Structure 1
Amino acid sequence: MVLAPTDMDRLISEWLARAHPVPQRARTEWSNQGVALLPLGDLFAAVRLPGELVNAAVGSEDAGQVASALGSLLQGPVIHDHRSTGATYYALINWGAGVIQQMEQNEDAPCLGTGTYLGVPRIDRREPPGTYWAVPPRYDGDLCRPGAVRSLVANGRRKLALHATA
């Protein structure tokens, strides 16, 4: 049985809401503000990726091209947030993944988990303004491949270093 897109969006939203100790609160925040603060560490963690690092890794600053490249490379959901300091991406990963220990200490791309809250957009927020899904989850439980996130970060660092010496 193939689910209709609205049914799949509902299932994904329910999965995301379960990250909150009171799932109804997440639903209310999505309804009222379009973004819910969800605690990280149980259902998923997030790797914070500076826009400059992502743009270097994918070779583009065009939002559509970046989103397409992230979808292909990471094969999982990515949130985009534009802050006063610039664009920031959050790749959602499994909290138990081995990448956590390697990335927790990274200053430029830290892994955020227990004790951290992330602004997670409502599933239908897929473009600016505000926080939105650059790459929305495809199904409940969908997460980025940790090795792919690690490769993206390494590639971005390498390209930024080459640019800095040029």
Structure 2
Amino acid sequence: MDTQAALDAAIVEWLARAHPVPQRPRREWATQGVALLPLGERFAAVRMPADVVHAAVETGDHDEVAVRLGTLLGGSIIYDRRVSGGTYYALVQGHTGLVWPYEDTAACLSFGTYLGVPRLDQQQPPGTYWVVPPRYEGDLVPPRSIVALLQAGRSRMTPEAERG
């Protein structure tokens, strides 16, 4: 097995182990391309509206958004276009929701919530896909990076008159 294949297998195993029955997400990835994984233990997810993200990175172009989010956030990010307006999910440490003060802009989903996580090789539309796939086991986004992104997006969305 080559190095990339071994790394991909380790990442898939890390994701699958988020589920109490790791065989289940493997089956779901094989049959549906997306598996429902419980949040809170292994990781949580910050749900970021596409309009805020696009304002922050100053583009809605799929490829440009991927590059800029990879640079700005540096961790695993999923995009789900099935949600109204589109939604980005940044994977963060499981305990982030306990201290997350930005629920009004981007909720932190944790215990009691399941997230549709695409198969690792699903990195383009259509459907749910990785905008920034995990590069290694435990590749999570630092919450402070998300805060900076949200602040930039909200600032750019606020009309000049309101900013003073």
Find 1:154's aligned residue among 113, 132, 151. 151
Q: Who is 2:11 aligned against?
A: 12
Q: Which runs of 5+ in 1 are unaligned?
A: none
In the alignment, the residues of structure 2 paired with residue 42 and residue 164 of structure 1 have an alpha-carbon distance, to the nearest angstrom, of 43
Q: Who is 1:139 aligned against?
A: 136
What TM-score, normalized to structure 1? Answer: 0.92
In the alignment, the residues of structure 1 paired with residue 100 and residue 160 of structure 2 have an alpha-carbon distance, to the nearest angstrom, of 25
Q: Who is 1:60 aligned against?
A: 59
In the alignment, the residues of structure 2 paired with residue 27 and residue 164 of structure 1 have an alpha-carbon distance, to the nearest angstrom, of 51
Identity between Structure 1 and Structure 2 (%): 52
Q: Answer yes or no: is 1:130 the counterpart of 2:127.
A: yes
Deviation at 1:95, TM superposition (A): 1.6
In the alignment, the residues of structure 2 paired with residue 113 and residue 57 of structure 1 have an alpha-carbon distance, to the nearest angstrom, of 24
In the alignment, the residues of structure 1 paired with residue 159 and residue 68 of structure 2 have an alpha-carbon distance, to the nearest angstrom, of 21
CA distance change for structure 1 residues 64 and 148 in 2, over 3 Å: closer, same or farther?
A: same
Partner amino acid, structure 2, of 1:102: W
> Deviation per CA, 1:113-156, whole angstroms, max 9, x where unpaired?
00000000000000011100000000011100111011111111
Q: Who is 1:95 aligned against?
A: 94
Q: Who is 1:117 aligned against?
A: 114
Asked whether the equivalents of residues 47 and 89 of structure 2 are also in contact (C-alpha less than 8 Å), the reply is yes
Q: Who is 1:51 aligned against?
A: 50
CA distance change for structure 1 residues 165 and 149 in 2, over 3 Å: closer, same or farther?
A: same
**Moved runs in structure 1, 4+ residues, more than 4 A?**
163-166
In the alignment, the residues of structure 2 paired with residue 100 and residue 74 of structure 1 have an alpha-carbon distance, to the nearest angstrom, of 20
CA distance change for structure 1 residues 100 and 73 in 2, over 3 Å: closer, same or farther?
A: farther
Q: Pairwise CA RMSD of aligned residues?
A: 1.7
Asked whether the equivalents of residues 82 and 127 of structure 2 are also in contact (C-alpha less than 8 Å), the reply is no
CA distance change for structure 1 residues 124 and 53 in 2, over 3 Å: closer, same or farther?
A: same
In the alignment, the residues of structure 2 paired with residue 73 and residue 100 of structure 1 have an alpha-carbon distance, to the nearest angstrom, of 23
SS of equivalent residue, structure 1 residue 96: helix
What TM-score, normalized to structure 2? Answer: 0.93
SS of equivalent residue, structure 2 residue 158: helix
SS of equivalent residue, structure 1 residue 128: coil
CA distance change for structure 1 residues 151 and 115 in 2, over 3 Å: closer, same or farther?
A: same
In the alignment, the residues of structure 2 paired with residue 120 and residue 63 of structure 1 have an alpha-carbon distance, to the nearest angstrom, of 18
